[in-house]
């Protein structure tokens, strides 16, 4: 299987604005976000379907999703934090976690300007989980 863009990020071949990393997962800001702070939580094991992860790895990934969501709630203070599983753009198990101040239809329909590298770096610093 050819390396996905996420595997290239995990290997350090492509830069990212990381907010969390452990042995099994990595979380970084989406470069084309729905909202400021939109984070991707990715399994380091490249599998196409989230449902193909072993139960322990799936549970760990979802635990990290929860930690990222809590950090967004604390720092960005949205009304809600959304989670989206779509799996079409990148064939590598991942979860979108994003702050929301409107319903899902309005949130994902909004086209916000692509953030600059400096804006992504500042947001990653705010959201970083140590």
The residues annotated with a catalytic role in the active site are: 94
Question: How far apart (Å, rounded) are the C-alpha atoms in residues 78 and 93?
Answer: 26
Question: How far apart (Å, rounded) are the C-alpha atoms in residues 129 and 113?
Answer: 25
Query: Residue 76's Cα: distance from chain center in Å?
Result: 15
For the packed helices 117-127 and 55-76, what is the interaxial angle rounded to 10 degrees?
Answer: 100
Task: Judge contact between 39 and 71, C-beta under 8 A.
Answer: no
């Amino acid at each position: 299987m050819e390396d996905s863009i996420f595997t290239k990020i995990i290997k350090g071949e492509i830069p990212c604005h990381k907010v969390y990393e452990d042995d099994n997962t990595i979380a970084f800001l989406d470069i084309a976000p729905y909202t400021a702070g939109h984070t991707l939580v990715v399994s380091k094991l490249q599998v196409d379907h989230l449902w193909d992860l072993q139960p322990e790895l799936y549970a760990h990934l979802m635990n990290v999703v929860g930690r990222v969501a809590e950090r967004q709630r604390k720092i960005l203070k949205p009304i809600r934090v959304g989670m989206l599983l779509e799996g079409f753009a990148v064939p590598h198990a991942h979860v979108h976690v994003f702050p929301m101040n409107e319903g899902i239809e309005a949130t994902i329909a909004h086209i916000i300007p692509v953030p600059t590298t400096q804006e992504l770096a500042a947001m990653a610093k705010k959201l970083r989980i140590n």
